[in-house]
Structure 1
Amino acid sequence: MLIKILNKTTLTVISSFFIFQLLSAQNKIKSTAEKAKTVFQTSSKWIPEIDVRSDVAIVYGVNGNPSDHDSKSGFEARVKSWKDRGYTAHFMTGIAWGSYQDYFLGKWDGKNHLDEGQVQRNGDTIWHGHYVPYIVPQKSFIKYMKKAVIERVIDAGITSIYLEEPEFWARGGYGTAFKEEWKNYYKFSWRSQHESPENTWLSNKLKYHLYYKTLDEVSRYAKSYGKKKGLDVKIYIPTHSLVNYSSWMIVSPEASLASLSGIDGYIAQVWTGTSREATFYNGKVKERTFENAFLEYGSMASMTAPTSRKMFFLTDPIEDRRKSWEDYKKNYQATFTAQLLYPQVENYEVMPWPERIYTRPYKVAGTDKEQLISHNYSTQMQIMVNALNDITISDNEVSGNNNIGVLMGNSMMFQRFPVHENYDDPRFSNFYGQTLPLLKRGVPVQTVHMENLGYDETLKNIKVLIMSYSNMKPYSEEVHTNLARWVKNGGVLIYTGKDDDPYQDVMEWWNQKRNKFKTPSENLFQHLGISINAGEGSFNVEKGKVFIIRQNPKKFVMEKDGDSKFINTVKNAFESIGTELKFKNNLVLHRGPYKIIAVMDESVSEEPYFAQGPVIDLFDPRLPVYTQKMVVPGEQAFLYDLKYAYNQNKPKVLATAARISDEKIEEDRYSFICKSPVNTINSMRIYFPSVPKTVKLMNSQGKEITPKGAGWDNNSKTFYLQFENSPEGVYVQFNL
């Protein structure tokens, strides 16, 4: 068919009307932004290259980002630049590090604070940047955060504050500041953590407490200060997952923060940089980005699930390490798919640092050359990002057995460094030994935080729970009280471990006062009513059942075919409740019109998965329509099911690399406005019940735009349109 473009005479007559429409859309974005479904963080002022058009722009740092030397323009000016473009501005800053040189170098209070950094055994400070140490949060630092940061941000009219990455490195804990905090907390002199497991345990518990206390004080102060000004201040914690922090040997409050009244939610900082961390499986060490990301997002989702705190999932189209664009793209698809497989989450940080993504060159695969992000990748990325504006919570479940959980706890971070008594946990394998054998067989295993066991909802849908004390310990006897009640009411518990790690007999509640247990599992078994020295086997516990495997779970993944006993036990556990445990090589979820598919390698089959169409491939910047989409092992797919459009039977933008606003369906026309960063290409596919007559494109000055591609596909009843993006807006009108 012939697609007509408006002639110049017609453009002159209607240009003022279209310009009015564009300005109207820009003003209306504010009401859209207030819902804060999608956000991004930036240390830059607004520039057209990074106008991502998410709901919220999170402006980073009152003094910018210590990793970005181009972000030093005034904080208030940066905030204003985004507000002037219709965005709601939020604020993010580091709570363990940041561009706080005025504090560290003595400008703020006349005292140099560089000696408050986290210090390693060799006496070296752990640095995040130039004159930016990872901090031991003492009273002076907390006061600085309140007065110099929080007050200034709230005074600028910002009511959502993100306190990023409360991190204390496990290898830290040797500096003067930490020794002072030790004496204040424990009431006895500091002990070197490398000298005994107990010293390590005490050291890491203190690191955990210091940031728990800091976030409690700062969040309560922010809410109180905001209230004095008539503002309802919200506090969020952007943090890596418990899986990653444990793997990377970092201590952080994690799940415990959900109990603080001053914390309103989290950002799950999961991306290629965390998820590509190599793991053992079937005796091999390699990157397993999708599987790792799935477990990371799961640990974050379960952390807040029973508390109703808000959770944003983050992905990053690139990462900190200098890799190629092809590498970034492959791993971005893997992490993006993993986040979408949690249908209870619909809020997203679509990217951090768009200035890094859009304006800095990176390697071209297989060469020494560098280039800016390609049009193909930026278009694909923007299609994915704009789908996040549309995707909603779903009651659907991921294919497979959704009622199996693995218990985890904050103390996973306490046992990682240093190695004592030659007991090691290479690559955090005691955790992966309980999860990867199931996930690789297509079981969407969930993680359960012991800190949340007091909530009835935590184990409500779990039928089989796996746990081990080989890499963590219970924080109180309440954990065992809750577990025993659940088992006695019909739950099935699998305990795996030899209880031979050197942390079993640290001075803790299970061996203090009236308790004289050698290991915490002895106390658990007593609560369950079985022998405290129980060996391998199965045990009936009122309505429930307990299975014990006397093997540390790291063996399940560190040795080839090492998981056979574990898998057989899990099968027997399911059979004991009359449920069949099904294995496959894929995870599939339908969320409204979206199909999310991951097919795993190293699984029970090398068969591909075939998704029946017609579907639009949202990982392809050309947005092709397939009658059937094949997904091979080791790959993922993100698809739009056209049947949803057919059922609605009205014009609709199905996929686009730009944010759509001012959408209007009239008797004889369908129109909307597209906005996205400059120097990128919009690719979009639109459904029509019948072929449209003409299409008209116009920029914000009322000038004609010639599309780079346009065409009708009669088989799918969709129109494909491609043109250069603009943050000022492109008006699109179809005459019907």
Structure 2
Amino acid sequence: MCKSILFCLLVAFSVQAFSQSTPAASKVSGQPGEKTVFQTSNPWKPVTDVRADVAIVYSVKDHHGKGNMTFEQRVQSWRDKGYKTHFMTGIAWGEYQDYFTGKWDGKWHLDEGQVTQKGDTLWHGRLVPYIVPSMNFIKYMKEAVIKRVIDAGIDAIFLEEPEFWARSGYSTAFKKEWKEYYGFDWRPQHESPENTYLSNKLKYHLYYRALNECFTYAKEYGKTKGMNVRCYVPTHSLVNYSQWMIVSPEASLASLPCVDGYIAQVWTGTSREPNFFNGEKKERVFETAFLEYGSMESMTAPTGRKMFFLTDPIEDWPRDWADYKKNYQATFTAQLLYPMIADYEVMPWPDRIYQGLYRTSANSDKKAQIPRFYSTQMQVMINTLNNMPLSENKVNGSQGIGILMSNSLMFQRFPTHSGYEDPQLANFYGQALPLLKRGVPVKTVHIENVSFPQTWKDVSILIMSYANMKPMDKTAHDHLAAWVKNGGVLIYSGRDDDAFQRVQEWWNTGGNTFQAPSEHLFRTLGLKEPYQAGEYTCGKGKVVILRNDPKEFVLKANSDEEYINTVKKLYEAKAGEATLQYKNHFALTRGPYEIISVVDENSDASPYVLKGKLIDLFDPEIPVLDQKQVNPGEQAFLYNIGSVKNPKTPQVLAAAARVYDEKVSKKSYTFIARSPASTTNVMRVLLPAQAKKIQVTDAAGKPVESKTSWDAASKTCFLSFENNPDGVQVKLSW
């Protein structure tokens, strides 16, 4: 019998979460024709006809947006234009005024909002609080939202952003959930690290429960109508939620049978959150995005769940168009550097992208809709995603270095206890940025997935710390130890002196008397006390202990040398004759596409130069270049004409429109181009010879004004004309 009620509850929660992550999951491939998606709360409009595969219709609220339509009418408006339709709404917030104001069940529920220590409710909009997801609210979601969506013929449901703010946890609703879950009265989280840990575990559990309940119902109700309903969670990355001090189930959801996959909500707004490197706090958008996408990819890769990567050509915060463009390129490049992900949300909220007003420059208050050069470039970029292939290629650089993460990264971010600070998630970035800034493509490994053999694929060195997270289940240490003893190399970095080391948890209760969870790990590895800094042999592998918290490597300038030298020495000993490659760039080839990013803050300030016949996909004129130079702090996205498999076959290589109904004859090539109204199309078409006749007509057969040119060296025809969602017919004859 457990020695304390608290210990029993903590162990029960941890074992439940871990045991549900261990069964092998079947591969979820989704449905054909669901490679690209976007989300919108509005009905179809000519100016937002994005031409992705799927329109995810947002919210069941009738008369939503400017269309003055019911939910079902909005869905039908997209279906009428040839789109598959899915559904999305928030699980932590949404237009649920009928629930909160008593229209649904006759009871007022605004007291179910998330509340801070000061008594302030956290709001997402008028009469829309961030929710403490009670069972009654879950019942509302099932009956008033999910049932209606499935009745409308929707077979894919996205419940987004299960978010519980770390600074909340003081409402009557939360106190009630606490008593039901733990069996004893609520304790204020600010009073002790243990209370904080308990509070955040409960927040984690509540959204785990909410999604499990809602998605299980969706699948069961769908079956009664002969439908296979698929369920997805659009969510920020573990990196971002930890940095923004939000608690969410994250990785544990990947093991639920009712969860088919995720959307990785990574964009300029998340990736521009400042971090520390070499003593300087600033935005590092590409590097942060690379780590965010990496944490999402590694979260699901071992479980086989489907993953959509999202980027946003703008962001929630109002800025100027040049800022949006620069950072969109950085995040877009970062997502493409994960070659085993090839499904995308090409944009959220096309209405605000195409019709929103934003500053024309950083120093001006003048606002305008999206400039033509940017909408053209954006459409070239998103239309490549319809054809972006999976690839076995890897980002160039030294492979095999992983950084361990845990959902508990979110548990000890707020409030601060005993004066221990982790500014801007520096304990995580202290492990990642010293390597990433030297051109080493580090990957992340989730402790929740260590039981899956696939997790360890291509990992030869694992870096970890318990300075900013704690193991939720001791059996994770068995898997870590087995990997090391089989030849893995583990680098543990930490002083183990933060206040959360001593919360009442499995490592110091129930017969265990460890002062820190790392001591249990070291004992499991076969090491002997006092676990001092140094290198130890463990079976076929090695363990190196560094008695520094990782934040120490980045909070001050020139403080990462010992850390980097340790990684380098171990990597090269493990790899034999191979050296740990330092460089200032990342490059990847995916089919015909070349993706490049050159980092700054590197001792090497030289540009990256690629030669060939290259279409510059970040240039709205899509020119053909003989070489591309990418400078530090810049990215490039190129179409390599030399890699075309069938160069004698006429084909569109790049376009700011989606191409349909292609027909090739001996002397001609015809197709239809569709894209939103009030945008300009550019396209580069590979032909066997220069076109003698070019016909561009609208859907009624009337001529459309166009610009054309011929590049003899690449055998490509450049075409430009105004887009039309009804289609523009192009016929090229030679």
| TM-score > 0.5, shorter chain as reference | yes
Q: Name the counterpart of 1:667.
A: 666
Secondary structure (helix, strand or coil) at the match of 1:721 reads: strand
Which of 445, 453, 475 aligns to 1:478? It is 475
**Which 10-residue stretch deviates more, 114-123 or 56-65?**
56-65
Q: Name the counterpart of 1:408.
A: 405
Contact 2:41 2:65 in 1 (8 A): no
User: Which one-letter code corresponds to 1:730 in the other structure?
Assistant: V
Q: CA RMSD in A?
A: 1.2
| 1:515-535 deviation digits (Å, cap 9, x = unpaired) | 111100000000111124211
How far residue 644 of structure 1 moved from its aligned partner, in angstroms, is 2.0
Contact 1:394 1:591 in 2 (8 A): yes
Secondary structure (helix, strand or coil) at the match of 1:210 reads: helix
Q: Name the counterpart of 2:360.
A: 364
Which of 333, 337, 341 aligns to 1:337? It is 333
How far residue 647 of structure 1 moved from its aligned partner, in angstroms, is 5.0
Which of 504, 508, 515 aligns to 2:505? It is 508
- Aligned residues with identical type, % of pairs: 60
Which of 39, 45, 59 aligns to 1:61? It is 59
The alignment status of 1:149 with 2:148, answered yes or no, reads no
CA distance in 1, matches of 2:492, 2:91: 37
CA distance in 2, matches of 1:118, 1:639: 46
Residue pairs, 1:167-566, within 5 angstroms: 167-365=163-361, 366-566=363-563
CA distance in 2, matches of 1:404, 1:440: 14
Residue pairs, 1:592-607, within 5 angstroms: 592-607=591-606
User: Which one-letter code corresponds to 1:494 in the other structure?
Assistant: I
User: Which one-letter code corresponds to 1:609 in the other structure?
Assistant: Y
Contact 2:647 2:686 in 1 (8 A): no
Q: Where does the alignment leave 5 or more consecutive residues of structure 2 unmatched?
A: 1-29
Contact 2:397 2:441 in 1 (8 A): yes
CA distance in 1, matches of 2:31, 2:190: 50
| 1:236-293 deviation digits (Å, cap 9, x = unpaired) | 0000000000000000000000110000000000000000001111000110000000
User: Which one-letter code corresponds to 1:732 in the other structure?
Assistant: V
How far residue 34 of structure 1 moved from its aligned partner, in angstroms, is 4.9
| 1:333-392 deviation digits (Å, cap 9, x = unpaired) | 000000000000000000000000001111001321101001100000000000000111
Contact 1:337 1:638 in 2 (8 A): yes
| 1:446-469 deviation digits (Å, cap 9, x = unpaired) | 000000000001012100000000
Relative distance call for 1:625 and 1:666 in structure 2 (3 A) is same
Which of 705, 719, 722 aligns to 1:721? It is 719
User: Which one-letter code corresponds to 1:362 in the other structure?
Assistant: Y
| 1:525-578 deviation digits (Å, cap 9, x = unpaired) | 001111242111111111001111100000111110111111011011112212
How far residue 70 of structure 1 moved from its aligned partner, in angstroms, is 3.9
CA distance in 2, matches of 1:196, 1:367: 48
Contact 2:234 2:264 in 1 (8 A): yes
| 1:6-64 deviation digits (Å, cap 9, x = unpaired) | xxxxxxxxxxxxxxxxxxxxxxxxxx995210000000100000000000000001017
Q: Name the counterpart of 2:684.
A: 685
Which of 19, 32, 35 aligns to 2:33? It is 35
User: Which one-letter code corresponds to 1:52 in the other structure?
Assistant: V
| 1:134-168 deviation digits (Å, cap 9, x = unpaired) | 00000110000000000000000000000000000
| 1:464-485 deviation digits (Å, cap 9, x = unpaired) | 0000000000011111100000
CA distance in 2, matches of 1:61, 1:669: 46
Q: Name the counterpart of 2:3.
A: none
Relative distance call for 1:121 and 1:245 in structure 2 (3 A) is same
| 1:194-220 deviation digits (Å, cap 9, x = unpaired) | 000000000000000000011111110
CA distance in 2, matches of 1:227, 1:33: 17
How far residue 674 of structure 1 moved from its aligned partner, in angstroms, is 0.2
Residue pairs, 1:581-620, within 5 angstroms: 581-620=580-619
CA distance in 1, matches of 2:353, 2:608: 32
User: Which one-letter code corresponds to 2:517 in the other structure?
Assistant: P
CA distance in 2, matches of 1:433, 1:731: 54
**Which 10-residue stretch deviates more, 528-537 or 659-668?**
528-537
CA distance in 2, matches of 1:441, 1:521: 29
Q: Name the counterpart of 1:621.
A: 620
| 1:588-612 deviation digits (Å, cap 9, x = unpaired) | 0000000000000001300000011
| 1:647-694 deviation digits (Å, cap 9, x = unpaired) | 532111000000001011111110110000000000000111221211
Residue pairs, 1:90-169, within 5 angstroms: 90-169=86-165
Q: Name the counterpart of 1:656.
A: 655
Contact 2:310 2:344 in 1 (8 A): yes
| 1:365-423 deviation digits (Å, cap 9, x = unpaired) | 13211010011000000000000001110000000012100000000000000000000
User: Which one-letter code corresponds to 1:631 in the other structure?
Assistant: V
Secondary structure (helix, strand or coil) at the match of 1:209 reads: helix
Q: Where does the alignment leave 5 or more consecutive residues of structure 1 unmatched?
A: 1-31
CA distance in 1, matches of 2:261, 2:572: 38
| 1:158-190 deviation digits (Å, cap 9, x = unpaired) | 000000000000000000000000000000000
User: Which one-letter code corresponds to 1:625 in the other structure?
Assistant: V
User: Which one-letter code corresponds to 1:627 in the other structure?
Assistant: D
How far residue 701 of structure 1 moved from its aligned partner, in angstroms, is 1.2
User: Which one-letter code corresponds to 2:454 in the other structure?
Assistant: E
CA distance in 2, matches of 1:33, 1:646: 27
Contact 1:547 1:573 in 2 (8 A): no
CA distance in 1, matches of 2:471, 2:445: 13
User: Which one-letter code corresponds to 1:704 in the other structure?
Assistant: P
Contact 1:616 1:623 in 2 (8 A): yes
Secondary structure (helix, strand or coil) at the match of 1:576 reads: helix
Secondary structure (helix, strand or coil) at the match of 1:649 reads: coil
How far residue 315 of structure 1 moved from its aligned partner, in angstroms, is 0.2
CA distance in 2, matches of 1:454, 1:103: 41
The alignment status of 1:735 with 2:733, answered yes or no, reads yes
CA distance in 2, matches of 1:461, 1:202: 35
Number of equivalenced pairs: 702
Secondary structure (helix, strand or coil) at the match of 1:686 reads: strand
Contact 1:645 1:687 in 2 (8 A): no
CA distance in 1, matches of 2:192, 2:400: 39
User: Which one-letter code corresponds to 2:664 in the other structure?
Assistant: I
User: Which one-letter code corresponds to 1:735 in the other structure?
Assistant: S
Relative distance call for 1:74 and 1:348 in structure 2 (3 A) is same
User: Which one-letter code corresponds to 1:455 in the other structure?
Assistant: F
Relative distance call for 1:34 and 1:102 in structure 2 (3 A) is farther
Secondary structure (helix, strand or coil) at the match of 1:672 reads: strand
